[in-house]
Structure 1
Amino acid sequence: MGRAVKRKKAKSKAKKEEAASSSIPAVASGPAKVWQPGVDELEEGEELQFDPQAYNYLRGFSIGWPCLSFDVVHDQLGLVRSEFPHTFYGVAGTQAEKAAWNYIGIFKISNINGKKRAPIPASAVDGDSDEDSDSSSDDEAEETNEDTKPVVHLKKVAHAGCVNRIRSMTQKPHLCATWGDTGHVQVWDMSSFLNSLGESGTHAHNEEDVIYKHLPLKVFSGHKDEGYAIEWSPIVTGRLVSGDCNSCIHLWEPTSSSWNVDANPFVGHSKSVEDFQWSPTEADVFASCSVDKTICLWDIRKGKKPCMTFKAHNSDVNVISWNRLSSFMIASGSDDGSFSVHDLRSYKADKGTDLLAHFEYHKKAITSIEWSPHEVSTLAVTSEDHQLTIWDLALERDEEEEAEFRAKMREQANAPDDLPPQLLFVHQGQKDLKELHWHPQIPSMIISTAADGFNVLMPCNIVTTIPGAEPSNNDTTMSSAES
């Protein structure tokens, strides 16, 4: 397993400052011990490092202020892309120190070149050229990868207040919706900024001080409180649903030039609505989760009450994800650190649903959960315990293989014996992870946002059956790490 490992190391002041500015620390070397977040503690003089062989690609980047939410923008560069170099587009919303400083970041990351190369510190991407003079291995990695540095292209659009959540429409990716802490839901046309990014070359233009004034296409002020739940329909172009902390849900229907928002809300939850997912197969059905510990399924043709309601957890349900490749499975993450997979086929009004899986690995609240768009049994999770984990529910415990694997891992990194067999990968190194997304067009690529910026990662052991993609093994890989 490639997991966070701890070792003694004397740090200079310069090294401390570099580590603080980068979410990707120095590469580990020498004897290592696997470090378990929430279980182990770092002693004085110890720091966490990671094994770069655990990744086909790993890089940190920033767009300025921390972002609570972001989304991958679908592009026209190819439906399935497995060869480096990669390029991807995204939108993100900031949480600035002052409300007037917030913006939507429309960005392009280009020249993503990898395949088990030593990662470069995020500070190099953001223009910080300071290097640790006593780290020859870091210098060699930087020199080797000088021509493979990714380039961050960024446009900023002013946004009133913090962005609680942002979503790009699949069918028309230039349209995105934002939920603001001001209580307004807005829809934006970002086509001009995306077109400009598309025309940009291999060098980023410095526009750090340029924040464009750009009016939204639609502003809805009918929610009585701010919220986080918002989601575009993957089937009906332009259909949107938004939910608030006052337990109300509003449906947006597209018109020829704008949207009609139903002023009469859907009512079924007793507390804050936290997340939405539209059915991948039924145009009129969506799911919601709530602080009231339940998941509801709604059919917009059948009135304003849920057609299914079941208790999903013993604590707040923060996030849900509907499996696009197997529509009877919904995954949910809770405030108590657990996450579950529910079988909708088994629903009974008096009993709820059967659980296909339930895990209590994480030590703090689940902040994001998402099924892989390419593998039916694979999902990824982020938590407030500073971990991003990847799971394959198709894996079962095989005592003989597991004994061999654990023996191997004890030799390599003194790995713990109580890891679930479904756990494929653990990524650490980001503080207060908030949201992750699989890239829908680049198999095995995950982007995550946290209080200290973004990470782009491609674990070496994530299996994909996409034609033309290289096969990999199912060994659990855990990597790291925190400075």
Structure 2
Amino acid sequence: MSQWSGEQSVAEYGDLQASAMAVDCTGQFAVLAGRKVMTLVDLDNPTDRVTKLTRQSKFDISCVQWHPYPVCGDLFATACNQRLDLFSWTSYGNINQKCSMRGHSRTVSDLDWSPFDVNIIASCSVDSYTHLWDIRDPKKPSNSFQTVAGASQVKWNKVTNNLFATTHEGDKGSSPLQYIAAHLSKIHGLDWSPESETNFATSSQDGTVKFWDSSNPRQSKGVITSGSPVWRARYTPFGHGLITAVVPN
């Protein structure tokens, strides 16, 4: 499939019972991850599975993310229960586990690779901690941040280094740069604009997507209203578009 086109291709993988999916930085490969198996799929030939790795776990994979840098394009990370796992895959079709990162006391809810440092990945959990990990030394977090409520999303700023945002249910964080009461219901999605260091979007159970400027956070810059909860909202790479995933009522 060409990168930007209206072409559609459909393939079913019901036997995988996948709970998470991610596409690599080239747009060619996807990993489908579930409780019992992880499978690599070539999106140019989606009915053919490149390789699979059988898992022995009683927990689902809550999220998976490929490394955003082409130089590390063989790497992807998963979150399962309280642990992060780093995998690589080879041109021979093998998926190899490189390391595990353990630091959370509750289920990991999200992870995000740094867009500026190839070795750094952030993770957040309902245990109220957001950890930063250096994959060169995965035995413990390189830095940790605590709030009074668990986080459901963590996202790095795409323009400014060393800045990330998290979403929470609760009244306030302990030491954030800013606290923004964005929605009355749970926030399911968060994404920074690829063009502005202060602009980001949130999506919520309340059926809205809101656009924010962190330099003036008292009121949202705009709102998209949906008739159903909005599970995810993501900026397109060219910055002027937004893709949403809605949960039907």
Scaled by the length of structure 1, the TM-score of the pair is 0.47
CA distance in 2, matches of 1:220, 1:374: 40
- 1:239 is matched with 75
Distance 2:204 2:16 in 1: 25
1:435 to 2:248 alignment:
no
Partner of 1:327: 161
Secondary structure of the 2:202 match is: strand
Corresponding residue to 1:391 among 212, 220, 223: 212
1:451 partnered with 2:208? no
Instruction: Name the structure 2 match of 1:303.
Output: 138
**TM-superposed deviation, 1:175:** 0.5
Structure 1 regions of 5+ residues with no counterpart? Answer: 1-72, 78-86, 89-107, 109-152, 194-211, 341-351, 397-419, 454-483
SS of equivalent residue, structure 2 residue 45: helix
Q: Does the CA-based 8 Å contact 1:284-1:299 persist in structure 2?
A: yes
Q: 2:117 and 2:54 mapped to 1: Cα distance?
A: 26
Task: Pick from 41, 45, 60 the counterpart of residue 192 of structure 1.
Answer: 45
Q: Percent identity of the aligned residues?
A: 21
Alignment of 1:213-232 (within 5 A): 214-232=48-66
Alignment match, 2:201: 380
Pairs within 5 Å for 1:202-221: 214-221=48-55
Cα pair distance change 1:305/1:183, threshold 3 Å: farther
Q: Secondary structure at the match of 2:197?
A: coil
Query: Contact 1:189–1:217 (CA<8 Å) still a contact in 2?
Result: no
Matches within 5 A, 1:45-444: 75=3, 77=4, 87=5, 108=7, 153-160=8-15, 162-170=17-25, 172-180=26-34, 182-193=35-46, 214-235=48-69, 236-244=72-80, 246-257=81-92, 258-262=94-98, 265-311=100-146, 313-336=147-170, 354-395=175-216, 420-421=218-219, 423-441=220-238, 443-444=239-240
| Shift, 1:242, TM fit | 0.5
Moved over 4 A (4+): none
Distance in 2 (CA, whole Å) between partners of 1:372 and 1:222 is 38
CA separation of 1:426 and 1:280: change in aligned 2, threshold 3 A: same
Q: 1:452 to 1:369 in 2, by over 3 A?
A: same
CA positional deviation for 1:191: 1.3
Question: By how many angstroms is 1:164 displaced?
Answer: 2.8
Structure (1 or 2) with the larger CA radius of gyration: 1
In 2 relative to 1, CA 327–159 (structure 1 residues): closer, same or farther, beyond 3 Å?
farther
Cα root mean square deviation, aligned: 2.5
More strand by share: 2
Higher relative contact order (CA 8 A, sep 6+): 1
Contiguous gaps of at least 5 residues in structure 2: none
Which residue identity lines up with residue 185 of structure 1 in the other structure? M
TM-score (ref. length: structure 2): 0.88
**8 Å contact kept, 1:337–1:366:** no
Provide the rounded CA distance (Å) in 2 between the counterparts of 1:218 and 1:430.
38
- 1:331-370 alpha-carbon deviations (Å, 9 max, x no partner): 11113487x8xxxxxxxxxxx8x52221113112111101
Structure 2 contact 236–242 (Cα < 8 Å) conserved = yes
Which AA in structure 2 matches 1:261? Q
Whole-angstrom distance in 2 between the partners of 1:388 and 1:162: 29
AA partner of residue 177 (structure 2): L
